[in-house]
Homo-oligomer: A and B are copies of this chain.
């Protein structure tokens, strides 16, 4: 059986069974005294993840940002990022310099550094970022931990990345803002029971948390935070808003569950750093994920972005 038939998630299961790797989180969590070391890696390439005609600056920014997002989802403080570049040898110095500037600026914005890397020849532009971070054991946020009764929340707004892609604005797709300071602030509340970024798509991420925690989500569609530009793209291009916000990948917001009694504290903790945290639903006992729209309950579909799958 070939990869295109079983897809990315089954491939990861297959690998992790043999390598005995705990893949419940998108980031390795290594105990170190009173802290956890966090360690993550993400690879992108020009065929699949980088829109055509993207600026090298934006590509450099992106590969750093996606890795910082994994550290952020754990409540971690980044210690450093490294980037391995596989590049066609016909690429020029200007490309390399702009790419480097994007990497540098992104790391700097999130108060960390490019601490290393690798450069290799590759006929497909392929970039692999890795990040390390640290978090106090008591402040870590994992994917596991959501309990029935918890409130489901999301940072920022949904749909911007997908709207950018549809409107041929690759800048929106690549120049993402990982929720680093939000992750740290959320971890410090000790109120978050589970957390992950929604880079693979909102619905997809709901299903991942649901299956891992053996609980369900009931999401109120009308509460989902959407910004105006995404609504405009939906109207202009006649793409259902639901497709852009719920079933597309590329947003690097955090999806989290919060103890009900601590909801206000948590919202205020993010308000203090200028970020909106929106309650959008509740965790339920039944392992079923529901989208409530115009007072009707429908089953949230389990789809989004998955690698290797044949697009039929």
Whole-angstrom distance between the Cβ of A189 and the nearest chain B Cβ: 25
A261, CB-defined interface residue at 8 Å: no
Interface code A80-109, partner B: CB below 8 Å = 1, 0 otherwise?
Answer: 101111111111110011011101100100
Interface code A1-45, partner B: CB below 8 Å = 1, 0 otherwise?
Answer: 111101010011011001111110011101010000101111111
Number of copies of this protein chain within its complex: 2
Whole-angstrom distance between the Cβ of A78 and the nearest chain B Cβ: 11
Whole-angstrom distance between the Cβ of A207 and the nearest chain B Cβ: 18
Q: Within the assembled complex, what's the spacing in Å between the Cα atoms of A3 and B92?
A: 6
A118, CB-defined interface residue at 8 Å: yes
Q: Tally A residues with Cβ within 8 Å of B.
A: 74
Q: Across the interface, name the chain B residue whose C-beta is closest to A116.
A: B28
State which of B26, B79, B307, B308 has its C-beta within 8 Å of the C-beta of A30: B79
A115, CB-defined interface residue at 8 Å: yes
A120, CB-defined interface residue at 8 Å: yes
Chain B residues closer than 8 Å to A79, beta-carbon distance: 30, 32, 37, 39
Chain B residues closer than 8 Å to A266, beta-carbon distance: none
A114, CB-defined interface residue at 8 Å: yes
21 A-B residue pairs with CB within 8 Å? A1-B92, A2-B92, A3-B88, A3-B89, A3-B93, A14-B96, A14-B100, A18-B97, A21-B115, A32-B134, A37-B79, A39-B116, A41-B82, A41-B83, A42-B84, A43-B84, A48-B122, A86-B126, A119-B308, A126-B128, A128-B128
